[in-house]
Amino acid sequence: MAEKEKSELIEKVIEVKRVSKVVKGGRRFSFSALVVVGDGQGQVGLGLGKANEVIEAVRKATEQAKKTMHGYPLYKSTIPHQVTGHHGASRVLMQPSPPGSGIISAGPVRAVVEAMGIHDINVKALGSRNAHNLVRSAIDGLSQLVSFSDVARRRGKKTEEVSTLEF
């Protein structure tokens, strides 16, 4: 069953950077890879791997991303409410969209929401466009999401009374 679970995960390589170190004989190159892994059902994880070869860096990042997977609430094919995530100088504004509108987003954040299983969302990157910070701010925004059932339980109401998201 473990092999079946691994094959169902969505892996997205966001960025591979070549980093050089100057030594006596010349330059030594190493690589860092930023990878997002999701199950398409509301879970997503982020990993950063560093190695002397690209394939090894991606493998390390994927393993780390699988370990850091967390679940976030979804509402149909979008998010329950508007949220803003922050990390470093990057801010990401995420808004729910009507069905069929698709993912309107920049590249790094698009990879996160696709791996998570969101099909309709509007995302605006504010501030820095650094891929690492954008991805981390997107995950920060997702961690702020609260499902309609949690809000209803906290208020002592039914879920239908609380869900005001209509398109």
Domain boundaries, the chain: 2-70, 72-162
Asked if residue 77 lies in contact with residue 119, where contact means CB atoms within 8 angstroms, the answer is yes
Measured at the CA of 111, the angle between CA 113 and CA 117, to 5 degrees, comes to 35
Q: What is the mean pLDDT of residues 104-111?
A: 92
Asked if residue 54 lies in contact with residue 76, where contact means CB atoms within 8 angstroms, the answer is no
- Kindly report the pTM of this predicted structure: 0.88
Match domain 2-70 to its CATH number in 3.30.160.20, 3.40.50.2300, 3.40.640.10, 3.40.718.10.
Answer: 3.30.160.20
Q: What is the pLDDT of residue 123?
A: 95
pLDDT 10s digits, 82-100: 999 999 999 999 999 999 9
Query: Do the two domains 2-70 and 72-162 of this chain adopt the same fold?
Result: no
**Who wins on pLDDT, 103 or 167?**
103
Lowest mean pLDDT among 51-60, 106-115, 158-167: 158-167
Asked if residue 4 lies in contact with residue 11, where contact means CB atoms within 8 angstroms, the answer is no
- How would residue 149 be classed by pLDDT, with cut points 50, 70 and 90? confident
DSSP summary character for residue 5: H
Q: What is the pLDDT of residue 1?
A: 43
pLDDT 10s digits, 25-39: 999 999 999 999 999
Give the position of tokens 């092999």. Answer: 3
88: three-class secondary structure by DSSP: coil
Strand partners, 161: none
C-beta neighbour count of 22 within 10 angstroms: 8
What fold does the segment set 72-162 form as a domain?
Ribosomal Protein S5; domain 2 (3.30.230)
Average pLDDT of every residue of the chain:
91
